[in-house]
Amino acid sequence: MRRWARAVVVAALAWVGAWTAAQAHEVRPALLQIVEHGPHAYEVTWKQPAMGEMVIHLTPHLSGGALEARPTGEAATAGFIEKTWRVERGAPLDGQTVSIEGLPETVTDVLLRVTTADGRQVDDVLRPAEPSEKLALAKPSGLAVPAYLRLGIEHILTGFDHLLFVLGLLLLIGPNWRLVKAISAFTVAHSITLALAALGYIAFPAAVIEALVALSIVFVATELAAGPSRADTLTRRHPWLIAFSFGLLHGMAFAGALAEIGLPPKAAPQALFLFNLGVEIGQLTFIGVVLGVWALVRRTPLRGVLRYPRLAGAAPAYAIGGLASFWLIERIFTAATPAT
């Protein structure tokens, strides 16, 4: 039984590690921002995720052909590549189709933000299943920030590192009242730093924060690996304190999804609230699914595994810790590599 379980864990780690490396940072949203200055004049800014020299294949297009020309400006940071086009005599934006080449082959989203010449702003999200959209700027539009709610939900549900941390807490504490307090503390903490970082009051290098997030998962996995006999571990004694402390880090990582693409200038509080609410909805959905699977396992023949506490506790601990260690090493190298 132990030999079989060990083989399954090793195989799962190898597959997930390889898949994670191939999909590294594709879950972060890209941004296509278009600012209209006149009927035929506008500026287009494209920001897409990057991980060192690893850049996912995404290419923006406008049906009028303006983006087929060479960019008028290019810049690179440790986490993003930015390109700019200044169009002086292009086709009118209204009625053009925006499309993102390569988007269906990724798991990322593209936030589309258009500011018209009369000051109106239109926000939407292009997804792998819907990689194009026809611009309808002549239509009256209200406050277009609901897209941030869905962006928050998708960000947490595709943020495997954040989900692994929550899973570690669930396995460590168990389905009881202490878990409610720990998740509440985690929510309060990441809401605080998400707001402060997204609004520009605090700022830390994204690569460093992501490395620390991976370290937080390694810490929880280490506590989990200690087994139920070690009831004196810090997380078992004060789960809310650990959840709150690391929640501050995870909040700054959540803000990284917004820091590069920004918030609507005239609706930043609303968009921030909806993004945070989306993160919470996604997080609670994940917790509900895990608890449902937990309850289901206890009613099936698989419950026999639970008779081996060391195996039942060690397998997920080493799986979570191994994957988090992989992320940690990868992100340390990224943080140590100077941006070109």
pLDDT of residue 7: 41
- Is 186 part of any domain? yes
The pLDDT-based confidence of 338 (bands split at 50, 70, 90) is: low
Does 258 or 219 have the greater pLDDT score?
Answer: 219
State which of 114, 142, 170 marks the end of a domain: 142
Asked if residue 264 and residue 136 are part of one domain, the reply reads no
Asked if residue 169 and residue 133 are part of one domain, the reply reads no
How far apart (Å, rounded) are the C-alpha atoms in residues 90 and 68?
12
- Is 97 part of any domain? yes
Asked if residue 294 and residue 235 are part of one domain, the reply reads yes
- Is 15 part of any domain? no
How far apart (Å, rounded) are the C-alpha atoms in residues 15 and 160?
14
pLDDT of residue 4: 39
pLDDT, tens digit (0-9, with 9 covering 90-100), for 118-157: 877 777 888 888 899 998 877 654 445 667 788 788 888 8
Q: Please name which of 226, 273, 218, 225 lies closest in space to residue 242, comparing C-alpha atoms.
A: 218
- The per-residue pLDDT of the chain, averaged, comes to 79
Which helix (DSSP H) or strand (DSSP E) does residue 7 occupy?
helix 2-22
pLDDT of residue 13: 45
- Is 67 part of any domain? yes
The distance in angstroms from the start CA to the end CA of the chain is: 50
Statement: residue 259 has pLDDT above 60: yes
- Is 309 part of any domain? yes
Asked if residue 132 and residue 163 are part of one domain, the reply reads no
The pLDDT-based confidence of 197 (bands split at 50, 70, 90) is: confident
pLDDT of residue 332: 87
Number of domains in the chain: 2
| Full domain range(s) for residue 86 | 30-142
pLDDT of residue 24: 40
Residue type, 206: A
Asked if residue 114 and residue 256 are part of one domain, the reply reads no
Asked if residue 225 and residue 119 are part of one domain, the reply reads no
How far apart (Å, rounded) are the C-alpha atoms in residues 125 and 132?
10
- Is 9 part of any domain? no
Tell me the DSSP string of 183-231: HHHHHHHHHHHHHHHHTTS----HHHHHHHHHHHHHHHHHHHHT-TT-T
